[in-house]
Every structure is written in structure tokens, then in C-alpha cells.
Chain A
Amino acid sequence: MMPTAVDDDLLNETFAALASSTRRAILARLAKGAATVNELAEPFDMTLPTISKHIKVLERAGLVIRGQQAQYRPCELNAKPLKRVSSWAEQYRPVWEASFSRMDEYLRQLQSKTRDGRSR
């Protein structure tokens, strides 16, 4: 079903950034706490430059913030853009709720038909 409204460019960026299992894994790791690029690269069979590229995509989408400590620049999760993803899904709620009220009404009609049929 169609959502009731169309969303903004920021939401796009969030979805685009989340559309990668590597980047989602990185975010899941950061949900446990800040980490350096080296630490983030550890579980992956990928080169550091590749992991860095993924982190840059997440940074651009505002999902990751880099610390300013010169050497390590630890990565930290910024969960704010995820709220927009959450509200994107919420657009479907009124559409479904209208449908289910219609189903309630339809079920009542069916039930009264059945009752009429029995009483005859």
C-alpha cells in the first residue's frame, strides 16, 4: 500500500546508507559502543580502505560521527536519522487502520447475513 506522504532527501540518504549488510553490521557493532576503524574492520574480510569507504557513507548519512582525538578518531553511532526511518514506516499505520475498520464493518455484514439465513 502507498504511504500517505512522501519523505525527504535525508530519508533517502539513510535508506541508501542502510542498504548494505556490511554497513548495517558496522552500525550494529557501534550500537554497543564507540570503536576505531581498526576495531570495526576486525570481523570483516576486507581491507581498511574498503571499510573506511563504508564508514564515510555512514558519516555522510549522519549515522556515524567521528571523534576528534587525533590518532584514533573513534566512530560513534548517531541514531537520530533512524528515527526518520521509523516515522517513514509509521506512515502506513493510518492506511492499515482504515482498512481494518472496513474489515470490522464487513465482518459484521457477513455475520448478520449468516444470521438472517439461519432464521429463515
Chain B
Amino acid sequence: MMDIRSSQGAAVVIEHRFDAPVEVIWQMWTDPDHFRAWYGPEGASIPTAKMDVRVGGSRLVCMEVQTPSGLMQMWFTGAYLEVVENQRLVYTESMSDENGSVKSAADMGMPEGHPTTTEVRVELDAVGAGTRMILTHTGIPEDSPGAAGWRMAIAKLTDYLKARQ
């Protein structure tokens, strides 16, 4: 049997162990002040993080990056799909303007068909005094009704791909 997580072809799955209890790691994701302290690629800062952490609640995050042509701001919006305290957090993410209006990948100068929305899934497990976190970041094509069917199809196809290698 294949591990379902490793068979999600269009997703990146990262496991990370933290030397802190699940309650603390949960705060890292759901408390805007903590979140701003660590989130983002190297050199980025997070001037704004608004989070209504409940199912259906929205989020709006601004990322600032210093570029040779000046300070560049990028806004991301999304909604929480699953909120299970200290265990599981699932939210969508799309590029947006500062008011949270979604911009398509094409608006952002990315090729058409590039997913406008991605889904971020954070799963936490207590391991001793620490935490094992599994992060799954999935691309969802634009007119896809939901991630579930997409992921199942991709899982089957990736199994096939692996069987052939």
C-alpha cells in the first residue's frame, strides 16, 4: 500500500519536527502576531495578517519583499475550510488585492491555467514534548469544484506513474 500523502502528485508535502508542544505550534499558525514573525520566504516581511480562524472565516495576508526596483507588496486571501484546534488547519490561498478581491493567475502575469487557488493543510501531532507537523500544499485548477476529487484523481495517476518507473 502506498502512503496516500506521498501519492498526491500536485502537492508538496513537508514533514517538520518542532521542539515545542502542539498548542504552541497551533498559535504560530493562528495568532497573527506569531504568524507574522516566521511566515514567508527569505527576505520577506509580513506587515499585515488578518485571520478569522473559524470554518468559513477569511484571511488576508500581505507579504513585502525588497526588490531592486523598490518595495513590492503581494496580497493573499483565502478561507478556512477546517479548524480543529491543536490538530488540523486547512485554508485556501489566492493572490488578491489589499481588499481581498481575488486576482487570477493571469492577472498576476502568470500563464493561463496556472492554479489561482491553492490549499494549505497543516496537521499537528504531539510527539513527546514536541510536535510533528505535516504540511500539504496543493494546487487547485481554476474551475475545479473542490480539492477532494482532484486529489483522488491525481493520487491514482501518480500511483500509475510510480508503478511504471
Which residues on A are within 8 Å of B, measured CB to CB? 1-2, 4, 6-9, 11-16, 18-21, 24-25, 27-28, 31, 77, 79, 82-83, 85-86, 88-100, 102-107, 110-111
- Segment of B9-17, B52-60, B83-91 in the binding face: B9-17
Supposing A12-B113, A104-B18 touch, asked if A98 and B9 sit within 8 A by C-beta, the answer is no
A99 near B38 (CB under 8 angstroms)? yes
Residue of A nearest to B131 (CB): A107
A79 near B114 (CB under 8 angstroms)? no
Would you list which residues of chain B between 59 and 95 have a CB under 8 Å from chain A? 63, 74, 76, 93
A-B contact pairs, 14 of them (CB 8 A): A2-B74, A6-B111, A11-B113, A15-B113, A16-B141, A18-B141, A28-B152, A28-B153, A79-B160, A86-B9, A89-B12, A96-B135, A100-B16, A105-B38
Which residues on B are within 8 Å of A, measured CB to CB? 9-12, 14, 16, 18-20, 24, 28, 34, 37-42, 63, 74, 76, 93, 110-115, 135, 137-139, 141-145, 149-150, 152-154, 156-161, 164
In the complex, chain A residues whose CB is within 8 Å of the CB of B19: 104, 107
Q: How far is the CB of A95 from chain B (nearest CB, A)?
A: 5
Chain B binding site: helix, strand, loop or mixed by DSSP? Answer: mixed
A99 near B40 (CB under 8 angstroms)? yes
A92 near B137 (CB under 8 angstroms)? yes
B37 near A102 (CB under 8 angstroms)? yes
B12 near A96 (CB under 8 angstroms)? yes
Q: How far is the CB of A58 from chain B (nearest CB, A)?
A: 12
Chain A binding site: helix, strand, loop or mixed by DSSP? Answer: helix
B41 near A4 (CB under 8 angstroms)? yes
B41 near A86 (CB under 8 angstroms)? no
A24 near B150 (CB under 8 angstroms)? yes
B149 near A24 (CB under 8 angstroms)? yes
A86 near B10 (CB under 8 angstroms)? yes
Q: How far is the CB of B18 from chain A (nearest CB, A)?
A: 6
Q: How far is the CB of B66 from chain A (nearest CB, A)?
A: 15
Instruction: Report which of B93, B143, B154, B157 forms a contact with A77, defined as CB distance below 8 A.
Output: B157
Q: How far is the CB of B11 from chain A (nearest CB, A)?
A: 5
A96 near B9 (CB under 8 angstroms)? no
- Give the CA-CA distance A82 to B72 in the complex, in Å: 33
Instruction: Report which of B18, B20, B76, B141 forms a contact with A19, defined as CB distance below 8 A.
Output: B141
In the complex, chain B residues whose CB is within 8 Å of the CB of A103: 18, 28, 37-38
In the complex, chain B residues whose CB is within 8 Å of the CB of A11: 111, 113-114
